Structure 1
């Protein structure tokens, strides 16, 4: 990305230039504060690289298996590349497995996140609300974190860490206020304090508080604690996925929950 800054990113510019029907629903994102990013400590880099290298034999097998599955059940590439806001509020390209049908629109997701932030409700994913954009098996891949396996390459490149705040997309960056943007002073991670402390049961404000708390207390002991708690957090995610799958077989999803099409950005109706 090099010379491309957050303010020049088209998704960020679009978000800041929208004129919502209800201004309180989607606030105009302020310009990114000028901050000096704190370099990642040596112990963190050593932990990340050593654990990634140690688990490579298993990771490679899983990566190949997921790649094969995605190519069998959907058209298009297995990998999905997306711009995210990372360390020091700088943009980087994240690697993920594609769990949506190729060319799936993102507007529903943008409006869903905006509504959750505005209402301060738990950050329930569209996955659990019957998102029709997902490919077969996507719920399982996302709940187990298998869709994020390619991010190990981001870790090796030094753009991410195994533990840290979730890297947000440019369009979500403006929802963070000045104090909450302290989360960008540490490397984003595959797992983090928020992920193991409730995740989808917490609000956007609570998520930001967990991220800031991690940035302020970052240490080797805290990283090891989060890593040890991650398997249990994934188990909870898988349980929620299974419950959703069972529910979807006996009950029809409430369409208005997902029917954002035709609404203007900012409409509450």
Structure 2
């Protein structure tokens, strides 16, 4: 039973050596010596966080034996375990990626990044295949698929290159007792509240649309590609608050400066705002914004069309703000977790604790705090706090 390691109660009795052996029995499969699935998944999560700090990549190798009959797997896994424990380093982690079906091996701290990481992967796979072929009958080995996955992945998290889901089994599963049901309730509340608000606010939505259309040339809605949960792109809606012929490069350069601000504060002062002040997430005097648009932004009325994004399922009422693809290109490794761990939303901890006056790193930490501590009660609390935050207009530009 893979979940038993998280439900040990009371204090272990007996001599220290016996206690250690008893505890290890909860973490290791007593047949082959692999870590059980839940613990291996946790070690993979920890290794990702270690790599975020150290910038030293690791390699996950998966050996999938699901095509073999259950009666054939015992001998295969015994031979496979013998090979893995004799041909890998002590610091490399062997465990069940999928219990009794897929074995995972974490080769930690590869020699470098870029081409050197690819070279290390090639060498590891070549040696591993050779060792396995010498110990396992070909009729079995031919039905074992071997895949490899380097973290961090190459490229940005955009439409053409989504993150490698094999590296995030913890994020793609329903973790914790009752969490799956809570997520279902969250989605149900998103739908009900959004639909009710759209119906109740229909006259206001229509009035804003008429004013936007009458006061400036261009469409009523501003449509923009954003990066959603786990890197999935979607079209983000707002009431248009800027002139239709604006140059996106102005905002792109500003956002790049804003994201780099904390790094600049650590030494590269050239990336600070020109006036030496701390930059904010939105430009305080954006020349592209219309007079009506400035009012819509100050009152957050320009955000109302995102209720349709919530109904569609691209967003939630509460969650991190969805980034623009060019923002992700500037992300540090640990920043990416804000779009990997939970669905984006209209409001969140960032909006009720400073809004646009918060630094980028502070914003990401609030997003990660929300993902870690998420509950239905936290969502309700944020929704209630959003009302006075919007009315105060603090940090809204």
Shift of 1:205: 0.5
| Bigger Cα displacement from structure 2, 172-181 vs 95-104 | 172-181
Q: 2:300 pairs with 132, 135, 145, which one?
A: 145
Q: Which runs of 4+ in 1 moved over 4 A?
A: none
Aligned to 2:164: 34
| Bigger Cα displacement from structure 2, 222-231 vs 114-123 | 114-123
**Residue 62 in structure 1 maps to residue 172 in structure 2:** no
Shift of 1:222: 0.7
**Residue 158 in structure 1 maps to residue 313 in structure 2:** yes
Aligned to 1:224: 380
Q: Which runs of 5+ in 1 are unaligned?
A: 1-28, 245-269
**Residue 112 in structure 1 maps to residue 254 in structure 2:** yes
Distance 1:224 1:113, change over 3 A: same
Distance 1:43 1:235, change over 3 A: same
Conservation of the 8 A alpha-carbon contact between 1:182 and 1:215: no
**Residue 136 in structure 1 maps to residue 283 in structure 2:** no
Conservation of the 8 A alpha-carbon contact between 2:354 and 2:395: no
| Bigger Cα displacement from structure 2, 37-46 vs 60-69 | 37-46
Shift of 1:95: 1.4
Aligned to 2:225: 83
Conservation of the 8 A alpha-carbon contact between 1:196 and 1:233: yes
Aligned to 2:345: 189
User: How many residue pairs are counted as aligned between the two chains?
Assistant: 211
State how far apart, in whole Å, the 2-side matches of 1:153 and 1:65 are: 17
Query: 1:69-104 CA distances to partner (integer Å, 9 max, x unpaired)?
Result: 101100111011110000111111111111111121
Normalised by the length of structure 1, the TM-score is 0.73
State how far apart, in whole Å, the 1-side matches of 2:219 and 2:234 are: 20
Conservation of the 8 A alpha-carbon contact between 2:222 and 2:239: yes
CA RMSD of aligned residues (A): 2.0
Shift of 1:151: 1.1
**Residue 53 in structure 1 maps to residue 195 in structure 2:** yes
Normalised by the length of structure 2, the TM-score is 0.50
Q: Which runs of 5+ in 2 are unaligned?
A: 1-153, 158-162, 175-179, 263-277
Q: Which has the higher contact order (CA 8 A, sep 6+)?
A: 1
Secondary structure of the corresponding residue to residue 195 of structure 1: helix
Aligned to 2:35: none
